[in-house]
Copies of this chain bind each other. A is one copy, B any other.
């Protein structure tokens, strides 16, 4: 499997387009469209927030997913009946335009994704006016533009690609792009994700593979502990690579696909944290030696989410007491005098007390990215969470801008 050699190359069977609709921003792309032709199957995972936005409510009811329309700027969340009506109207208008070009495309084939300010309705006039040009502009080379049109407070587009070669000689791509840099919480980050493959797969297979890979990638990152109303990750197969579709978890090629998907999603998750609002550090927090994997995850999340730990990352202050305090309140079983801490490979704390390596620890903390590992010596459990620091930039972005 090769990763990221040609991230912007087309994925067979998909065309994409983007447009500066003026829905909210001026002179920047804010509307994107992806269409699968041919189409094989799709799956999605969505926010568990009870205030789920209209596009989430719309998309999770769809049986097929041949087209995805995404807009940045207005979340269409907490917009009531009008929001649902706007979602339906958008899907209908798009399917009419697509239906005249691709046989059999109907309203039920259209998935929707929105990101932006909660409580603001979508600017439907601008959206509907932009649709014909968007459909007109669909092209295999449009994915890069799409990955830019979905951004809000993100500072860079984020895409990942894996090229998979099956032992039988068949080969295919898995490509994904995401948007997200704040409201990022462990339980589905606040984000939109679009993952495409030409490998034929049934919707059922995609559902299981996506859940599994999401759990180990997007559900293992945190920027600020908040979970949004609009989180959605879509996985669509065009099937253009040909051959029989993956159906069962044990099918030949299923493991390779899962591996490729996991690599793409993990890469995308890391890009979100790297681009976390105001982030100057990306830190992999690993807890091992916990009583169970679940306790390890709980402890890792407590450390990764602690504002005091995150400000210490920002300040490059090797203040290990804050890490111990977060572990101690996490709910994971531990003996505080058996805990070892490492910054990369520097043995920072041994048996719960200082190990006299502050200078080396500080050196690690000056890097842009590093790992913080806690060994609880309490069992076989292990888990990792990716996090960033809490900086002045985060406060500036979220304290001064209705994002």
Chain B positions within 8 Å of A312 at CB level: 398-399
Let me know if B228 and A314 touch, CB within 8 A: no
Taking a contact as CB atoms closer than 8 A, the residue among B224, B227, B392 that contacts A395 in the complex is B392
Question: Does A25 have its Cβ within 8 Å of any Cβ on chain B?
Answer: no
When all copies of this chain in the complex are counted, the total is: 2
Q: What's the minimum C-beta distance from A72 to chain B, rounded to whole angstroms?
A: 15
Q: What's the minimum C-beta distance from A399 to chain B, rounded to whole angstroms?
A: 4
Given the interface contacts A225-B306, A307-B224, A399-B312, does A78 sit within 8 Å of B118 by beta carbon? no
Q: What's the minimum C-beta distance from A31 to chain B, rounded to whole angstroms?
A: 21
Question: Does A22 have its Cβ within 8 Å of any Cβ on chain B?
Answer: no
Question: Which positions 180-230 of chain A face chain B at CB distance < 8 Å?
Answer: 182-183, 185, 187, 224-229
Question: Does A242 have its Cβ within 8 Å of any Cβ on chain B?
Answer: no
Given the interface contacts A226-B307, A229-B325, A328-B51, does A399 sit within 8 Å of B391 by beta carbon? yes
Question: Does A353 have its Cβ within 8 Å of any Cβ on chain B?
Answer: yes
Most-contacted residue by chain B among A305, A308, A337 (CB, 10 A): A308
Let me know if A49 and B329 touch, CB within 8 A: yes
Let me know if B399 and A325 touch, CB within 8 A: no
Let me know if B394 and A311 touch, CB within 8 A: yes
Given A48-B329, A187-B329, 15 additional A-B pairs, CB 8 A? A49-B328, A52-B328, A77-B325, A78-B337, A79-B353, A119-B354, A183-B308, A225-B306, A225-B307, A226-B326, A227-B325, A229-B328, A308-B398, A392-B395, A394-B395
Let me know if A314 and B399 touch, CB within 8 A: yes
Question: Does A27 have its Cβ within 8 Å of any Cβ on chain B?
Answer: no
Question: Which positions 348-402 of chain A face chain B at CB distance < 8 Å?
Answer: 351-354, 390-392, 394-396, 398-402
Question: Does A336 have its Cβ within 8 Å of any Cβ on chain B?
Answer: yes
Q: What's the minimum C-beta distance from A202 to chain B, rounded to whole angstroms?
A: 32
Question: Does A103 have its Cβ within 8 Å of any Cβ on chain B?
Answer: no
- One of A12-20, A60-68, A315-323 contacting the partner: A315-323
Question: Does A327 have its Cβ within 8 Å of any Cβ on chain B?
Answer: yes
A314, B396: Cα distance in complex, Å:
10
Question: Does A135 have its Cβ within 8 Å of any Cβ on chain B?
Answer: no
Taking a contact as CB atoms closer than 8 A, the residue among B51, B321, B400 that contacts A75 in the complex is B321
Let me know if A117 and B319 touch, CB within 8 A: yes
A64, B255: Cα distance in complex, Å:
65
A residues at B contact (CB < 8 Å): 48-52, 75, 77-80, 117-119, 182-183, 185, 187, 224-229, 305-308, 311-312, 314-315, 317, 319-322, 324-329, 334, 336-337, 351-354, 390-392, 394-396, 398-402
Let me know if A227 and B119 touch, CB within 8 A: no
Q: Which residue of B lies closest to A185 (CB)?
A: B329
Let me know if A324 and B78 touch, CB within 8 A: yes
Chain B positions within 8 Å of A77 at CB level: 321, 324-325
Contacts A/B (CB < 8 Å), 7 sampled: A51-B327, A51-B336, A78-B352, A118-B320, A119-B353, A227-B325, A314-B399
Secondary structure of the A contact surface, majority rule: loop
Q: What's the minimum C-beta distance from A337 to chain B, rounded to whole angstroms?
A: 6
Let me know if A325 and B119 touch, CB within 8 A: no
Taking a contact as CB atoms closer than 8 A, the residue among B305, B319, B395 that contacts A402 in the complex is B319
A194, B378: Cα distance in complex, Å:
36
Chain B positions within 8 Å of A402 at CB level: 317, 319
A390, B399: Cα distance in complex, Å:
8
Q: What's the minimum C-beta distance from A196 to chain B, rounded to whole angstroms?
A: 28
Let me know if A311 and B398 touch, CB within 8 A: yes
Q: What's the minimum C-beta distance from A159 to chain B, rounded to whole angstroms?
A: 26
Given the interface contacts A51-B324, A51-B328, A51-B336, does A311 sit within 8 Å of B395 by beta carbon? yes
A118, B326: Cα distance in complex, Å:
12
